[in-house]
Amino acid sequence: MLVAVASVKGAPGVTRLAMTLTALWPHGASATLVETDAVGGTIAGRFGLAASPSLTTLAAAMFPAAQDVRIGEHTQQLPSGLPVVVAPADAAGVQATVLDLAATGGLLEQVAADSETVVVLDCGRLDVRRLSPVVTVANEFLLVVRPVPEEIGLLGVAIKSLQKAESRVRLVLRGGGYTAGEMSRTLGVEVAGRLPEAPEAGLLARSRRNAYARSVQQIALSITDRVRQSAAAVVEPEPEAVA
């Protein structure tokens, strides 16, 4: 299963949501965080991690056979113990690497088709003029937004681009403002949930008792339910009657 998280403006907490989704993924499944921010990675620098292994080594491992790649061999651990594949700081390098990973038959496509593997992509800020190829591969594309008037116009443009690309996009509202119903009606897209303005326990909310973590858990559960329903809706053709 492949879940992508991005924003279109400002810093509404994409990395924070991606980390918390990874840490609190439901049903006992283990998830891995993969940084794919098109402007370059920041997680390694922020947490004092090594430059390698990284997104670059992960993409290189796809050749000659993507099905032989083990994502865990390219992860490092955050101080919390969370497994992460960090991106290089070079924007052009990240963009080229993501193109390889998201190619037809590539690793991300395989992850999206595998219900036993969970990968959360931290996509950073979305460039609506040049959409990341992950928007069409991901089982779920979460757009983190602040539900305020000044963001509606840009959001409308971004959502139209995503829908044109047949992305499975939903909104995650951050903080106060318009209701979920108002945002959904105005922008023509579902709302996956609403997050408190700020987490109660730092960057990574692990406590299942705090409000931010509970909100993220509900979003994660809604993702797993949607993916399961989508898989169940794929009905195999009935066998032809024998004359």
For residue 177, pLDDT over 90 is answered with: yes
Angle at Cα 55 formed by Cα 115 and Cα 52, nearest 5°?
A: 125
pLDDT tens, position by position, 19-43: 999 999 988 788 999 999 999 999 9
pLDDT tens, position by position, 60-114: 999 877 778 999 999 999 999 999 999 999 999 999 999 999 999 999 999 999 9
pLDDT of residue 111: 95
Kindly provide the b/e burial profile for residues 219-243, where b requires at least 16 CB atoms within 10 angstroms of the residue's own CB: bbebbbebbeeeeeeeeeeeeeeee
Q: Report pTM.
A: 0.90
pLDDT tens, position by position, 115-156: 889 999 999 999 988 899 999 999 999 999 999 999 999 999
Q: Where are the domains of the chain?
A: 2-228
Reported CATH class of domain 2-228: alpha beta
For residue 201, pLDDT over 60 is answered with: no
Q: Phi-psi region for residue 166, left (φ > 0), alpha (ψ -120 to 50) or beta?
A: left
CA 35 to chain centre: 9
Supply the mean pLDDT for the chain.
Answer: 90
Identify the bridge partners of residue 174 per DSSP, sorted by sequence position: 195
